[in-house]
Amino acid sequence: MTNEEIVEILNYHLEEEIRAILQYLQHAYMARGVDRLPIYEFMEKASIGEMKHVEILAKKVVAFGGVPSMRAKNIDSSPDIKDMLRADIALEEEAVRKYSEDVAKLDAAGQIALKVIFENLVEDEQEHLDELRILLGE
Ligand SMILES: [Fe+2]
Ligand SMILES: [Fe+2]
């Protein structure tokens, strides 16, 4: 695996993490109704968690000679809290799936440090997913 290929993998996830930050913030700001306060707090905290992931990935992009891709992808702007949670669950499911897939690729390429980082990211995203599913309660 070349450095360029590693940067490509890292930047894919970096953009997804930026999407998560913005989507969680959007959901915090847009939440309406009697559940606004706990949802606001949950979403804001989740957004800060994703910022830590951006930091990890961006530093690695630079370490492998690339430029961090700080592009913002489309985010969900559902006005309904349950729809917000469903959109966030979809985003986290995709994150767990893609990080897990890339753990195998990095392992096969002998990129053990990155593999361990990605394994920890899988764990974090799975935790977000578990919390979101409990919160949605469906
Ligand atoms: Fe993340
Ligand atoms: Fe997450």
Q: Which of 4, 47, 53 is nearest to 25 (CA)?
A: 47
* pLDDT tops 90 at residue 121: yes
What value does the mean pLDDT take over residues 51-65? 98
CATH number for region 3-136: 1.20.1260.10
Distance 50 CA to ligand 2 centre (A): 6
Q: What's the pLDDT score for residue 69?
A: 98
Q: How far is the CA of 29 from the centre of ligand 2 (A)?
A: 18
Q: Ligand 1 centre from 33 Cα, in Å?
A: 27
Ligand 2 midpoint to CA 88 (Å): 8
**DSSP assignment string, the chain:** --HHHHHHHHHHHHHHHHHHHHHHHHHHHH--STTHHHHHHHHHHHHHHHHHHHHHHHHHHHHTT-------------SSHHHHHHHHHHHHHHHHHHHHHHHHHHHHTT-HHHHHHHHHHHHHHHHHHHHHHHHHT-
User: For 2-31, how does the pLDDT look when each residue is reduced to its tens digit (9 = 90+)?
Assistant: 999 999 999 999 999 999 999 999 999 999
Taking only Cα atoms into account, the Rg of the chain, rounded to an integer number of angstroms, comes to 16
Which residue ranges make up each domain of the chain? Answer: 3-136
**What average pLDDT does the segment 76-96 reach?**
98
Provide the pLDDT confidence category of residue 72 given band limits of 50, 70 and 90.
confident
Q: Tell me, in angstroms, the distance from the centre of ligand 1 to residue 3's CA.
A: 22
The whole-number pLDDT of residue 10 equals 98
What average pLDDT does the segment 38-50 reach? Answer: 97
What is the 55 CA–ligand 2 centroid distance (Å)? Answer: 14
